[in-house]
Amino acid sequence: MMRGNMRSFGADSVLSVTWILVLSAARAFAQPQRGLVPGFFIFGDSLVDNGNNNRLITLARANYRPYGIDFPQGSTGRFTNGRTYVDALAQLFGFPYYIPPYARTRGPALLRGVNYASGAAGIRDETGNNLGDHTSMNQQVANFGMTVEEMRRFFRGDNNALTSHLSKCIFYCGMGSNDYLNNYFMSDFYSTSHDYTPNAFASVLLQDYTRQLTQLYALGARKVIVTAIGQIGCIPYQLARYNGSNSRCNEKINSAITLFNSGLLKLVQTFNNGRLPGAKFVYLDSYKSSNDLSLNGTSSGFEVVDKGCCGVGRNNGQITCLPLQQTCQDRSKYLYWDAFHPTETANILLAKLTYSSQTYTYPMSIQQLTTL
């Protein structure tokens, strides 16, 4: 996100040229690779939830208009106007359908992938309790364990065949945002900011996440995308509340999540260096991609990068999108759909950028991961 006049004109010019080259590469090479991925399994929060929260008693729900206003199936529970990042990624993998939510998926369809994500969910179980019910990462992993047991029946108990199938599937894990937004930096409801320094909290989160990702590995995950936390100190929700003198963003939050992100990158390196034999993890730098999208919004066709298309108050970020609320006129020109979540246009662009390019992925692109 823009930080006053910290960048010189020359640095901005170089950054803009680099961004244009990245966009051109993404548009040229992000083509569907059909048949390479037999299944796609998704773990995360509201950024990728596609309906698992619809029947829960929670404020973290999006199964009402205008959410889904641009989605073919309408208001399904996706926290955006159309497709999510993983919807767009599934299309690039060559899937002719959207990966279904766990809440509505049973039987042979499980073999092709399931979305376990839940709005307000976090790495820690208590994260998101301020909004109501949700499915934490621990429970999402447990749900996948039940899925594996059910899939075993379709392979007639042939564990080798099941293991082979899962080893070819892609797993996506995007967790941590709510552990900060709806836990650590919500001191009126949670004690974690009093119990832990930012360094200690990042360490505790990473310990829990290490265990959870290792459990997924034990259940058969071998090709895994793990995402860094985006630049959440600069989302409309924070811009509506923060009145800092040196930056329009809440750098206290950005600094805290940077500690987590740097530790997550090291964890990926550790996993790939033999800790989890046969597995390949790809680190998706959502912090850098969200920062670059905001800084170079005009190059991507965005005219508004600091306000929600739908919402209430300052930056349309003080209250999130209300039922039947009027949205902005041209949704494709907005980076953010509401106080927290990107628009469909942003999700599709990010999927293309991260699929074929290594600008935001380490140690390889997502497309390369599919071919292993």
What are 9's two structure tokens? 């004109």
At which residue do the structure tokens 């569907």 appear?
A: 32
What are 5's two structure tokens? 């006049």
Residue 364 identity: M
Would you call the peptide bond into 32 cis, given omega within 30 degrees of 0 as the criterion? no
Output the DSSP codes for 163-196. HHHHHHSEEEEE--HHHIIIIIT-TTT--HHHH-
Half-sphere exposure of 152 (CA within 13 A, CB side): 12
**Residues 349, 23: Cα–Cα separation, whole Å:** 8
**Residues 372, 370: Cα–Cα separation, whole Å:** 6
Alpha-carbon torsion 123, 126, 132, 135, what sign?
Answer: positive
Backbone angles phi, psi at 339, to 5 degrees: -65, -20
Q: Is 330 a catalytic residue?
A: no
Q: Is 167 a catalytic residue?
A: no
Backbone angles phi, psi at 46, to 5 degrees: -65, -20
Of 208, 285, 341, 356, which is the active-site residue? 341
What are 15's two structure tokens? 């950054």
**Residues 112, 151: Cα–Cα separation, whole Å:** 10
Of 289, 338, 356, 357, which is the active-site residue? 338
Q: Is 341 a catalytic residue?
A: yes
Half-sphere exposure of 145 (CA within 13 A, CB side): 13
Annotated catalytic residues are 46, 338, 341
